[in-house]
């Protein structure tokens, strides 16, 4: 699968401003994803239609507790390139809006 091109490079480079898991969790919930685990453990963003948490295909991305620019960029790409994200007909702009960066 070819990597999707980022449209807003200016915002992509500024993803280091996200320091808390709660920003990603809130964005995922706004977009309609399910969230599992959390607390002292990483959060897992999952397919809202596949309720089987043991099914690896339900996972979109994992949000660790220690965030920095590179990890945030990886999480962003995992959202954008997920077949679940595509199936839900979401766009890069939707993700920026959910993160309150647009």
pLDDT digits (tens, 9 = 90+) for 12-71: 988 989 999 999 999 999 999 999 986 667 999 999 999 988 888 999 999 998 899 999
Whole-model pTM? Answer: 0.90
Average pLDDT, the chain: 91
Segments forming the whole domain that contains residue 91 = 17-98
Domain contains 2 = no
CA distance 41 to 88: 27
Determine, yes or no, domain membership for 77.
yes
Helix (H) or strand (E) holding 96: helix 92-98
Say which CATH number the domain at 85 has: 3.30.920
* Phi (first) and psi of residue 76, to 5 degrees: -60, -45
According to DSSP, residue 102 is labeled: -
- Please choose, from the candidates 11, 65, 15, 16, the residue with its C-alpha nearest in 3D space to the C-alpha of residue 38: 65
pLDDT over 60 at 86, yes or no: yes
Please say if the pLDDT value at position 1 is more than 60.
no
């Amino acid at each position: 699968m070819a990597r999707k091109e980022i449209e807003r490079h200016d915002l992509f480079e500024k993803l280091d401003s996200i320091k808390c898991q709660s920003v990603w969790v809130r964005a995922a919930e706004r977009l309609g994803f399910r969230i599992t685990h959390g607390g002292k453990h990483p959060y897992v963003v999952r397919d809202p239609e596949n309720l089987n948490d043991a099914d690896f295909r339900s996972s979109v991305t994992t949000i660790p507790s220690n965030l920095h620019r590179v990890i945030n960029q990886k999480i962003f790409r995992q959202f954008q390139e997920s077949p679940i994200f595509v199936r839900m007909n979401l766009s890069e702009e939707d993700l920026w809006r959910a993160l309150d960066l647009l």
